[in-house]
Amino acid sequence: MYYKTAFSMDEFRRRLRIEYENEYKNEYCKMKSLLFSKPKIYDAGGDTSKRWYVYFYYRNPQTGKMERQSPIYQNANRIKDARERKKYLTDIRNVLEKMLNEGCVPTATNFICRLPPKTSAKSTGSIRFFFTFLSTLLLRLF
């Protein structure tokens, strides 16, 4: 049994176009409010003969535009096995994302991490330990 449509094909296309425009505007507005993009892994389609890296975008405070940051290779391309290389870059991506979420800001040569205000001796010590650990790890990675 067929049902008659309440609108024509032209009306369908018009509604589809409006929905697409609204979705585009929503994504654009979401990007305008973000300080950084989620770090992603470029794996060259699984080809281990090409360079793999982690990349992300960060909003430039002077221009207000999202700018792609330098890719992070960190000796990943010395690993010949694709699974191991992917795991290695996934670990780098996770640490990088955690640092960005914690408020670290990428500069031309390193990251600047701001410590939150002191709340108690115990929590501040653990936070400092965490940032020290991340800084040490990134120095080894970069």
- Say whether pTM exceeds 0.75: no
Burial class (CB in 10 A: 0-12, 13-18, 19+), 99: buried
Listed residue (87, 100, 92) closest to 38, CA to CA: 100
Q: Which amino acid is at 102?
A: E
| SS3 state at 67 | strand
Say if CB 92 and CB 131 are below 8 A apart.
no
What are the residues facing 112 on neighbouring strands?
Answer: 105
Lookup: tokens for 107: 């500069």
Q: What is the mean pLDDT of residues 71-78?
A: 91
pLDDT at res. 83? 94
pLDDT at 65: 87
pLDDT tens, position by position, 16-63:
787 777 666 655 555 557 888 999 999 999 999 999 999 999 888 888
113-139 pLDDT, tens digit each: 765 555 544 444 555 666 666 666 666
Residue of higher predicted confidence among 131 and 112 = 112
pLDDT of 112 strictly over 90: no
User: Residue 91: exposed, middle, or buried by beta-carbon count in 10 A (0-12, 13-18, 19+)?
Assistant: middle
pLDDT at 140: 59
